[in-house]
Amino acid sequence: GAVVSQHPSRVICKSGTSVKIECRSLDFQATTMFWYRQFPKQSLMLMATSNEGSKATYEQGVEKDKFLINHASLTLSTLTVTSAHPEDSSFYICSASGGEAIQETQYFGPGTRLLVL
């Protein structure tokens, strides 16, 4: 149980285009989903937290107009990188939590590798 999927696993796009990444909780309802960014050989940095049906809460320094997050249902959240540039190339990871307590264990997706040319 507690499986989280991400799609696509890998995407290459041209500079200036937008890319959408999907995160799905397959066997549980995710009241909260988190989006992380991981640079090579570095830790995961939280970008934003989203609760179903409400606006995402972005971490300091993350451009909300560039990284659009939608959490329209209890099993799906999407991250759209708008007008992507080479510096947006990274590994994006989502996680989902279904517990009532916010510190409940997060279950992580396999990640999406984005390369912007």
Partner 1 sequence: AQSVTQPDIHITVSEGASLELRCNYSYGATPYLFWYVQSPGQGLQLLLKYFSGDTLVQGIKGFEAEFKRSQSSFNLRKPSVHWSDAAEYFCAVWGDDKIIFGKGTRLHILP
Tell me: cis bond preceding 8? Omega within 30 of 0 counts.
Answer: yes
Beta pairing partners, 57: 49
Does the protein bind partner 1 through residue 62 (CB under 8 A)? no
Closer to partner 1 by Cβ: residue 28 or 82: 28
Placement of tokens 């285009």 in the chain: 17
Site for partner 1 in 80-109 (CB under 8 A): 93, 95, 102-103, 105-109
Helix (H, G, I), strand (E, B) or coil at 9: coil
- Identified binder of partner 1 from the candidate list 15, 72, 110, 115, rule CB under 8 A: 110
Does the protein bind partner 1 through residue 35 (CB under 8 A)? no
User: What is the H or E stretch that residue 108 is in?
Assistant: strand 107-108
- Identified binder of partner 1 from the candidate list 43, 61, 87, 100, rule CB under 8 A: 43
Does the protein bind partner 1 through residue 34 (CB under 8 A)? yes
Closer to partner 1 by Cβ: residue 18 or 115: 115
Closer to partner 1 by Cβ: residue 15 or 105: 105
For residue 79, count CB atoms less than 10 angstroms from its CB and return exposed for 0-12, middle for 13-18, buried for 19 or more: buried
Q: Are 96 and 5 in contact (CB under 8 A)?
A: no
Residues near partner 1 (CB under 8 A):
4, 6, 34, 41-44, 46, 49, 59, 93, 95, 102-103, 105-111
